[in-house]
Amino acid sequence: MSKKGKKAKMPLSDEEQLLLFQQKLLAEEEMAKKKERLLNQFLKDKLAKEEHNCALNLSKINTQWRTVLREVKTRELHKDIEILSRTFERVVDCKDGSLVKDLSEAEEQYAHALRSHLHNIDQLLALQRRRLSLLEESYNVELEALTKEFETERKTIIDQHEEEIHYLQDVFVAMEQNCLDSEYESKLEFQSMWEDLKNKNLEEKHFLRLQLEHTVEDLWRRFQDALKNYTDATEDRKIAFETLKAKDEKSCKEIEAQMKKIQRLQDSIIILKGKIMVHGRESEEQNQDIREDKELVLVQLRKLKAQRTQARGISQENLVKLTLESNATLKALRKIVDKGEKVLKLAEICRKFETEEEKVLPFYSSVLTPEEQDIKIDPEEFTEELGKVIMDYIGMENFWKRYNKVKLEQLSLQHRRAQLLEINEKLREMLKQYLDGISVSDEVLSQLSPRFIVNQSRNLPQPPSMPTAQPGGQKPPATYNIIEAAHVIAHIL
């Protein structure tokens, strides 16, 4: 404890005091930076809040201003709607009386036309059902024929493939059996030849042994006789010499006999080796031929498998093609049915816009002259394709009649609209001139006035004469209601 107290009471050096002072300065700088960052963040948040409040207040002002404008606009629109409703009620009251009778007549004509239209629709539906049934029957017949043909071809290919497989298996088994038989026969021949050679060698050895024994016995007898004579002549030396000589001859003979036997055995071994090599070559050649035959059979088997897979792929492609064509025909039939339903719906919609005359007589008679009807097509230009096209469009003759009639009526209405617009402009000019004639001013006096009459004629422009219908036309001349300008001005003012 005394040591620790002494260390704590020791004064700090200059370097340590400088380090502490630097650490304090760094801590103060960090605190100042933190304060600046917090202040900047606070100012940014306050600025964002102010911007948000400004945008919110501006949106509130805009919404209040829009509500004020909407109220003003709604008041103006209400006034306009009241004026329009009054005028509309007057027009409706005027037209109600005339339209009741037209409605009753139109209902009767509509009932008659609806009955005829429903009858025609039933006939068209029956015709379409018969056509669809015939197409379905032809499609089913073709589909059955194709499926039968496909099944027969598939069955024949499978049967042929199975027969070829059985034939190749039989050939392979027969070749293996022939190889085993030939190998067994060669082994038997080798064993028999080996036994024969062994027996021959034993017989020769036995024969040589007997022959040698006879010769040895004869020589022994002679040797005994000579020995007796020699012993009689020479005593000890002769006995020693004879004994050594006999031993030497006997060893030489034995050596020669053994050498001959060895030579014969080597010759027989060489002959047997040659025969074994010949048989081995023959067996190898036979095995090579069998291997080649086996490879050929395997190649043929691979070809047959490839043909089978190719035929299977072609049949699969044909089946896929058949399914795609059947799906395409079904889609085409669905499109035709949808087109027919669309045509019927359009016919029902067009029926609502038909006139009374069209409801009673839907198909007008031809307006062509006999000379135009007698026009013939040049036989050089008339071909089979043109004839087929004409026959295909014979059923559309009534449709084209009605289409052409509607087109002509559309053009006539457009022409009539242009005429009416021109008449309306002229009437506006007349009304303007009339109003100018009522008022008196320098500008009016400088222009033409209807009050001035020169040579019993007014200086107003005359309205155009109404066009009269031609005797060959189909529509009678139309009548128009003319309202005096003074009456219109009184109502407007």
Residue 421 has a pLDDT of: 94
Residue 365 has a pLDDT of: 61
- CB 364 within 8 Å of CB 405: yes
Q: Per residue in 109-142, pLDDT tens?
A: 888 888 888 988 899 898 988 989 999 998 899 8
Residue 383 has a pLDDT of: 60
Cβ neighbours for 244, distance < 8 A, ≥ 6 positions apart: none
Q: Per residue in 188-209, pLDDT tens?
A: 888 888 888 888 888 888 888 8
Q: What are phi and psi of 295, to 5 degrees?
A: -65, -40
Six-digit token pair at 34? 């933190």
Residue 387 has a pLDDT of: 63
Residue 225 has a pLDDT of: 82
Residue 480 has a pLDDT of: 45
Distance CA 250, CA 213 (A): 12
Residue 447 has a pLDDT of: 58
User: Please, what is the average pLDDT of the chain?
Assistant: 78
3-state secondary structure 282-303: HHHHHHHHHHHHHHHHHHHHHH
Domain ranges within the chain, ordered by starting residue:
382-438
- CB 319 within 8 Å of CB 150: yes
Residue 424 has a pLDDT of: 92
- CB 366 within 8 Å of CB 373: yes
Distance CA 145, CA 151 (A): 10
Write down how long the chain is: 493
Q: Give the residue ranges of the chain where pLDDT is below 70.
A: 1-12, 230-231, 233-234, 238-239, 358, 360-393, 395, 437, 439-493
Q: Exposure string (b/e) for 361-373, b if CB count within 10 Å is 16 or more? A: ebeeeeeeeeeee
Q: Which residue has the tokens 């009251």?
A: 93
Six-digit token pair at 173? 């088994």
Cβ neighbours for 117, distance < 8 A, ≥ 6 positions apart: 347, 348, 351
SS3 464: coil
Six-digit token pair at 394? 């014979």
- CB 356 within 8 Å of CB 102: no
Residue 388 has a pLDDT of: 66
Q: Crossing angle, helix 397-438 and helix 485-492, to 10 degrees?
A: 80
- The torsion region of residue 398 among left (phi > 0), alpha (psi -120 to 50) and beta comes to alpha
Residue 425 has a pLDDT of: 92
Reported pTM: 0.25
Residue 392 has a pLDDT of: 67
Long-range own/partner contacts, residues 38-46 (CB < 8 A, 24 or more apart) = none
- CB 242 within 8 Å of CB 225: no
Distance CA 478, CA 468 (A): 9
Residue 322 has a pLDDT of: 87
